[in-house]
Chain A
């Protein structure tokens, strides 16, 4: 974990990806939001054919496309409000992240972390288990020595989606 915020490097960046998943699974929404830069990009592209993802969020459809932390805050507000029946009983989720590869960008001022993810989610209303999986691409930068997520791209490989999913399901 990020014991020394002054250490810059691949390891911190990779740890941050794991920490983010930990916060999502444990419903630590404020801690989760705190990992993102205010002007972060959060992007879940849609598929446009059997093998091809959309690649231009401003001209092609995305499953989610946000350009600020405020939009992630909206999702958290929705979950906390209790006014959304879909989010009122969240699925129990468990992220597993593997095959992590980190590489520096711009001579050490930021890093890109590629990883694989699997989320097992237990839909408590219907006592059913669903599995979602795909790939993450995080771009991690450092603000005042602290690593933050500048950009997160989530590719969902099994995109015939269950209707009970939220921000913690991917």
Chain B
């Protein structure tokens, strides 16, 4: 596919006007193939948390786009990212999802690798009659070219031709910090996770995380259940969601986009006592100051392009997007919590999380059903252009204002307004970055 063919798929008429996305980006398998090569194998991709491999020789296996990789901590405590494939015939060397091992033996012909990826044994090599040329090959596990951490968030890239991680993340780190700093010792994943698949393109999830417009229609049943709980059986009810987040009590809310495809939606929380960290507010204020405390007790959803999303509103959810095919996506979702929070905070957090975010809960299935409805609707191939990237366009502005200055960020675009604004310019940064990566030559 030629670059000018791709360029027609995302057309920004102007910053304050139309922005057109062709539905082929959601339904064309050739475009999906290119996305895997040019996005998921050519930019920073989130691959996990450092805290998941705390000890020497800990490892876990995961995915870098479509490629199986393994993250290992060696005997000196250094982390490495490697393609999880024996250099001999290609079998997965680490067969388990996670564990602790000094050595990893390929189950097929018994080649052995140390936790730093080096090959330490080729079975029966003395009798092998290998030619001299064999010794000239590198037999170690192949290292993923780029691998770095931002405060324990691990990212990797299959291509070295990328900006440094810190530059790539840019100002979105201010919002990661608002999550990481919720505990004096940082954050951790609550044990347990879940995996689900929806039959739709991965970019539907990419958009949904920062889509305020869908909430009052897609999650209507959840909202009515929360209202019912408050009125009918308040005593034994789960109190999990603060409907005032939707702006019924006013408050400021807005969206920022950043370079390299990142986006954040943020807002005040009228009822900070509904946040699980509320009982730690004095400790937090002493540590991070008044301004960041106010921001922290607000809410935010953020997308770190292309595959990491964090929703920090009712508890904190981390989502990792794994595209499988043009119309199938796998999600792994995790509950994030401050390290060492009190049992009461943890329990409250879990109930909030399960109710809303789980695919077995009462909100996420309504999202995924809508994604699938979109994917089915894209079958109407006579329609090419989406009308979903325009709300807010006449009001969106560039750069920093007073509010953004409070938190020290210079957004590429910013907009604020009532919940009903349902701004859609927040999606544009992801498509700008999509276009930049997709039209680079290989």
On A, residues with C-beta under 8 Å from B are 44-50, 54, 57-68, 70-71, 73-75, 77-78, 81, 83-87, 125-126, 159-166, 170
List residues of chain A with CB within 8 A of the CB of B347.
Answer: 58-59
**Known contacts A86-B365, A86-B366; is-contact A46 B194 (Cβ 8 Å):** yes
A87 and B221 contact, CB distance less than 8 A: yes
- Nearest B residue to A73 via CB reads B233
Q: Give chain A residues whose Cβ lies under 8 Å from the Cβ of B195.
A: 159-161
Most buried by A among B191, B330, B353, B376: B191
Tell whether A85 pairs with B196 under 8 Å between CB atoms, given A44-B360, A63-B360.
no
Interface status of B281 (Cβ within 8 A of chain A): no
| B335 interface neighbour in A45, A61, A77, Cβ under 8 Å | A61
Q: Are A57 and B350 in contact (CB under 8 A)?
A: yes
Q: A60-B192, A74-B229 are in contact. List 17 more A-B contacts (CB 8 A).
A: A46-B192, A46-B193, A47-B192, A47-B194, A49-B97, A70-B233, A71-B238, A77-B228, A78-B362, A84-B366, A86-B369, A125-B376, A126-B199, A162-B196, A163-B197, A163-B198, A166-B365
Which chain B residues border A64 with CB–CB below 8 Å?
Answer: 354, 358, 360-361
Q: A61 with B96: in contact, given A159-B195, A160-B197 (CB under 8 Å)?
A: no
The answer to whether B203 has its CB under 8 Å from any CB of chain A is no
Complex partner residue of A58 from B238, B346, B373, CB under 8 angstroms: B346
Q: Is B190 a contact partner of A77 (Cβ separation < 8 A)? A: no
- Give the residue name and chain of the B residue nearest to A60 (CB): B191
Enumerate 22 A-B pairs (CB-CB under 8 Å) in ascending A order: A47-B193, A47-B194, A49-B98, A54-B192, A59-B346, A60-B191, A61-B190, A61-B193, A63-B194, A65-B351, A67-B236, A74-B225, A74-B228, A77-B225, A78-B222, A86-B368, A125-B372, A160-B195, A160-B196, A162-B197, A165-B359, A165-B360
The answer to whether A83 touches B224, judged by C-beta atoms less than 8 angstroms apart, is yes
Residues of B349-382 whose CB lies within 8 A of A = 350-351, 353-354, 358-362, 364-366, 368-370, 372-373, 376
Residues of the A chain whose Cβ atoms lie less than 8 Å from the Cβ of B361: 64
Q: Closest chain A residue to B238 by CB distance?
A: A71
Least CB separation from B348: chain A residue: A58
With contacts A60-B191, A64-B354 known, is A78 near B221, CB below 8 A? yes
- In the complex formed, the residue of A with least CB distance to B329 is A163
For B354, give its contact among A48, A65, A164 (CB under 8 Å).
A65
Q: Are B330 and A160 in contact (CB under 8 A)?
A: yes
Q: 8 tightest CB-CB pairs across the interface, nearest first?
A: A61-B192, A163-B368, A86-B365, A46-B192, A84-B221, A83-B221, A54-B192, A86-B369
CA distance A66 to B224 in the complex (A): 18
State the CA gap A48–B362 with chains docked (Å). 22
How many angstroms from the CA of A123 to the CA of B370 in the assembled complex? 15
A112–B32 Cα distance when bound, in Å, is 50
In angstroms, Cα B196 to Cα A77, docked, is 24
B162 within 8 A of A: no
A63 adjacent to B237 (CB under 8 Å) = no
Least Cβ distance of B408 to chain A in Å?
Answer: 33
With a cutoff of 8 Å between Cβ atoms, the chain B residues found around residue A75 in the complex are 362
Quick check: A45 and B365 within 8 Å, CB to CB?
Answer: no
Within 8 Å CB of B369, what residues of A?
A: 85-86, 163-164
Which among B194, B198, B350, B362 is the interface contact of A74 at CB below 8 angstroms? B362
Q: Which residues of A contact B193 (CB under 8 A)?
A: 46-48, 61
Which residue of B is nearest A63, CB measured? B360
* CA A64 to CA B368, docked complex, whole Å: 18
Complex: A47 Cα to B222 Cα, angstroms: 25
CB distance from B348 to the nearest CB of A (A): 10
- Determine the chain A residues whose CB is within 8 A of the CB of B191 once the complex forms: 48, 54, 59-61
* CB proximity of A137 to chain B, nearest CB, Å: 17
Contact A165 B335 (CB under 8 A): no
In the complex, the chain A residue whose C-beta lies closest to that of B237 is A70
Which residues does chain B contribute within 8 Å of A47, judged by CB atoms?
A: 192-194
Q: Is B17 interfacial (CB 8 A cutoff)?
A: no
A11 to B378, CA, bound (A): 53
B343 contacts A165, C-beta separation under 8 Å: no
Chain B residue with Cβ nearest A64: B360
A156 to chain B, nearest CB (A): 9
Query: Does B66 interact with chain A (Cβ within 8 Å)?
Result: no
With the chains together, A83 CA to B228 CA distance in Å? 14
Query: When the two chains form their complex, are residues B229 and A45 in contact, meaning their CB atoms are under 8 A apart?
Result: no
Q: B436 on the interface (CB 8 Å rule)?
A: no
Q: Which residues of A contact B97 (CB under 8 A)?
A: 49-50
A32 to chain B minimum Cβ distance, whole angstroms, is 17
Contact A81 B372 (CB under 8 A): no
B151 interfacial contact with A, CB 8 Å = no
Measured between alpha carbons, how far is A57 from B348 in the docked complex, in Å? Answer: 11
Contact (Cβ within 8 A) A85 B218: yes
Known interface pairs A70-B233, A70-B236, A71-B238; A63-B221 also in contact (CB < 8 Å): no
**C-alpha spacing A158/B97, complex, angstroms:** 16
Determine whether the beta carbon of B365 is less than 8 Å from that of A164.
yes
* CB 8 Å contact bits of B210-233 with A (1 = contact, 0 = none): 000000001011101100110001
CA distance A165 to B97 in the complex (A): 25
- The residue of chain A having its C-beta at the shortest distance from the C-beta of B226 within the complex is A74
